[in-house]
Amino acid sequence: MVNKVKSLIWVLAKLLSRIVLLLLLMTKGAAYAEVAPGASNENSIQMMQEFGKEANSQKSDGVTPIADKRRHQIMFYLGMPLVIMLLTTAGMGIGIGVYGKPWFKYHIVLAGLTATLAIIHMIVGWAWFYPF
């Protein structure tokens, strides 16, 4: 039984390290344009305003944009259960390790749910707030 748990932990650690490495590689590919020596900021600002006007005029796709305040509220509503579940999982782990409570199955299920919610929280945060 102990060997199975150790091998499961090893596999999960390898999987997590690969996921973290993949995410790091995905964020390192950002490229930045260089500014020409004779370019002025006024032209850049005017060009960005034109892009903004075009983006505002293309609202016929049926998607309603969400305000930043509402996005922050949704992230908060995702984050509060995440923190509660994380603390509960940690408390159960301490109960198992220190006091010998028979909560291992519940601890593992709660840890899986916590990890799932954390991944959802991370994806939503990147999709909404990463500067594209």
- Rounded to the nearest 5 degrees, what angle is found at the Cα of 84, between the Cα atoms of 80 and 88? 170
pLDDT-derived band at 21 (thresholds 50, 70, 90) equals confident
In this prediction, residues 76-89 reach a mean pLDDT of 95
Select, from the ranges 38-47, 106-115, 121-130, the one with the highest average predicted confidence (pLDDT).
106-115
Return the pLDDT at 119.
96
Q: Which stretch of DSSP H or E encloses residue 52?
A: helix 41-57
Return the pLDDT at 15.
83
In this prediction, residues 19-37 reach a mean pLDDT of 69
- pLDDT greater than 60 at residue 57: no
pLDDT higher at 33 or 113: 113
- pLDDT greater than 70 at residue 56: no
Lowest mean pLDDT among 28-32, 60-64, 80-84, 116-120: 28-32
Query: pTM value?
Result: 0.52
Radius of gyration of the chain (CA): 23
SS3 content of the chain, % helix, strand, coil (to 5): 75, 0, 25
**Exposure class string for 73-83: b at 16+ Cβ within 10 A, else e:** eeeeebeeebe
Give the integer Cα–Cα distance in Å for 113 and 79.
13
Give the integer Cα–Cα distance in Å for 65 and 130.
16
Return the pLDDT at 121.
94
**Residue 8: alpha-carbon gap to chain centroid:** 24
- Rounded to the nearest 5 degrees, what angle is found at the Cα of 37, between the Cα atoms of 32 and 39? 80
